[in-house]
Chains A and B, each alone.
Chain A
Amino acid sequence: MSVSEENAEREPVAYQVSAFLERRREQIAQRWADAALFRTVFTVSRDEAVEAGRAVAAALAAVAASGRLDDIRASGFEAVRDQLGRMAASRARTGTDPDGVANEVAALREPATELLRAEFAEPDAPEAHEAVLALTVLMGTLRLVVMETTVSAGEELIARQREQLHEVATPVIKLWESTVAVPLIGTLDSARSQVVMESLLDAIVAERARYAILDITGVPTVDSLVAQHLMKTVAAARLMGAECIVSGIRPAIAQTIVHLGIDLGTVLTRSSLADALAYALSQQGVEIAPLRAVGAAADAGTR
């Protein structure tokens, strides 16, 4: 008996809330426009914020009318899902974490419930409590919907960035005749080092390189696994007839390598890419001298 009675009572409450949201849409939207969420998303004009607030209030009214107050899949939300997603994404771009966004959505509840309470002659009457409770449930569902769209937007972003990361992974640069270099940036795992090795070896063939420089300035840490990957790459390049030089070992990394007891004795190392290039050039008999000195010598010769 109690269950059916409760349901019978709740239905009208939901309609009541729906009717309230419809009636007071304009006022709610005006108040929401001043709330942190709308104010920070629609920085350009307040009208836009009010317009967005109106759309959200209308969607809530539709959901309340359908009686599915706690259903995040309620069809009423579909109309504003895109908009909510954009708002959440724009907050995320400005560096607000999901907690912050959730709190900002939660802050929308207070202005709405205040207005609803004011609707009743007696704010402490049971009907008033019922209605406020129903609205609170509805606002909680809205919060969930926002969080859900935020999370799915985040997942999309991660997937897109993962693709980009693979694209920018490892360019092989021709530094000089028969000299190629790979600037390694980021963590070296086995999948990446495989890609590095393949592209380096292909470049050695294509450029007929005698010297290959692996620059690890951008590699944050070197552990025994990374060192092993480096040594494999060096060995493979050597098998192709190219001499490999590892450059850009920062002092901290040099110490780590020594502490870990990793033997890089078979690997030719230089402290910077410039040093490595200088080595490769000198081995090929290329000498680089400042033009001025040459000019001065020429001057001395003519006088």
Chain B
Amino acid sequence: MTGIAGHGPVGGHGFTVPVLQLGDVLLVTLQGELHDGMAEQLQQDITARISHSRVTGVVIDISGVEIVDSFLGRVLAEIAAGAKLLAARTVLAGMRPAVAITLVELGLTLPGLWTALDVERAMELLGVTTRRGEGSP
């Protein structure tokens, strides 16, 4: 079970957020706005993926998200909580400074989530090395 294994289950209608699998890590890239239906579909996709294959970590890349609200904050927290029940850690990667400030002002500090500067760091955090022959110190 290696490499990129297809997209998540087809949602049926409209856009779905692609869920990529890299080894035993799921990579979800959020871009632009996340609507209610998409959020629900994404939650289902992720939990289904985790239980089907032996996934130990979920990386949610939100570097393409410029605006967050309490809804997105709640969805992220729920995804993390669901993943944790299935023994997978969720790492939120690539949050923009403006987004971080907005979340903190809203009082959403997302205590249950791990965070990382970008996807590479997130992979590192989950124990997947993406370095190319650099040799750690």
Contact = CB atoms under 8 A, between A and B. Distances in A.
Interface of A: 194, 197-198, 201-202, 204-205, 208-210, 232, 235-242, 266, 285-286
- Determine which residue in A197, A210, A238 has the highest number of CB atoms from chain B within 10 A of its CB, and name it: A238
B113 to A, nearest CB: 9
A86 to B, nearest CB: 46
Contacts of A266: 111
A198 B99 CA distance: 11
- Determine which residue in A205, A210, A235, A266 has the highest number of CB atoms from chain B within 10 A of its CB, and name it: A235
Chain B interface SS verdict (over half): mixed
15 contacts: A201-B100, A204-B117, A205-B97, A232-B104, A232-B105, A235-B109, A236-B104, A239-B95, A240-B95, A240-B97, A241-B93, A241-B116, A241-B118, A241-B121, A241-B122
A285 B137 CA distance: 8
Contact of A286 (B103, B115, B137): B137
B48 interface: no
B101 to A, nearest CB: 6
A241 B115 contact: yes
Given A239-B92, A239-B109, A285-B137, A201 B101 contact: yes
A272 B118 CA distance: 30
B104 A239 contact: yes
Interface residues of B, number: 20
A1 B127 CA distance: 103
Interface of B: 92-93, 95, 97, 99-101, 103-105, 109-111, 115-118, 121-122, 137
Nearest to B124: A210
A284 to B, nearest CB: 8
Chain A interface SS verdict (over half): helix
Given A285-B137, A286-B137, A238 B101 contact: no
Contacts of B103: 236, 239
B110 A239 contact: yes
A293 B116 CA distance: 37
B104 A240 contact: no
Given A240-B95, A286-B137, A235 B117 contact: no
Contacts of B100: 201, 236-237, 239-240
A202 B97 contact: yes
A211 to B, nearest CB: 11
Nearest to B121: A241
Nearest to A239: B100
Contacts of B121: 210, 241
B95 to A, nearest CB: 5
Given A239-B92, A239-B95, A241-B93, A198 B116 contact: no
